[in-house]
Amino acid sequence: MGEAVNHCEAYSDPFCRFVDPKDRRFEDTKLMSGLGDSRIRSIVALAPVTAYFSDAELATLTVPIFVFAPAQDAELSPTANSERLRDNIQTGLTFYEEPEAGHFSVLPVFPEATWGEVPIVLRADIEGFDRSAFHQRLFYRVVGFLDESLSH
């Protein structure tokens, strides 16, 4: 939790409503130390939360990374998360920002018959945003990224 507390002290991020500044159980833990795994050849991060990692830890990522940043994210601050990841990755970054997408825009279009069971926060988008068309754009970008990053 140490890095998350530091993150919340540095950024105004809606994510921080889940962080207890008194919880220092993981203060000395470096989550990314020793996590190298040669089987991981690329990463796709959709609306990623970076609060648990220091800038120095993020900078150690060396595999190609695709980051989707929803500009209308009300759950995570794009500046404190997606853009922070973008600014700390030294090589192999593909950054895709969708101006009208929200945090949950990557979820499927929910049939109207399920609306009573699916919270509105998971299915609501800003007016005029076409979630189905967005899914097509995102799909082709992710597939293109994976084709390129895994072909080496």
Tell me the average pLDDT of the chain: 88
Q: Which two tokens stand for residue 72?
A: 């209308």
- Give the residue from 68, 72, 103 showing the smallest Cα distance to 82: 68
End-to-end CA distance of the chain: 36
Domain with 65, as residue range(s), is 2-150
Question: pLDDT tens, 67-115?
Answer: 999 999 999 999 999 999 999 988 899 999 999 999 999 999 999 999 9
Q: Which long-range contacts (CB under 8 A, 24 or more apart) does 103-110 make?
A: 103/47, 103/70, 103/73, 103/74, 103/75, 103/76, 104/75, 105/70, 105/129, 105/131, 105/134, 106/46, 106/47, 106/68, 106/70, 106/135, 106/138, 108/135, 109/135
Task: Answer whether 1's CB lies under 8 Å from 25's CB.
Answer: yes
Is the model more confident about 112 or about 5?
112
Domain count, the chain: 1
* Residues 23, 91: Cα–Cα separation, whole Å: 34
Which of 16-25, 27-36, 70-79, 136-145 tops mean pLDDT? 136-145
Q: What pLDDT was estimated at residue 34?
A: 56
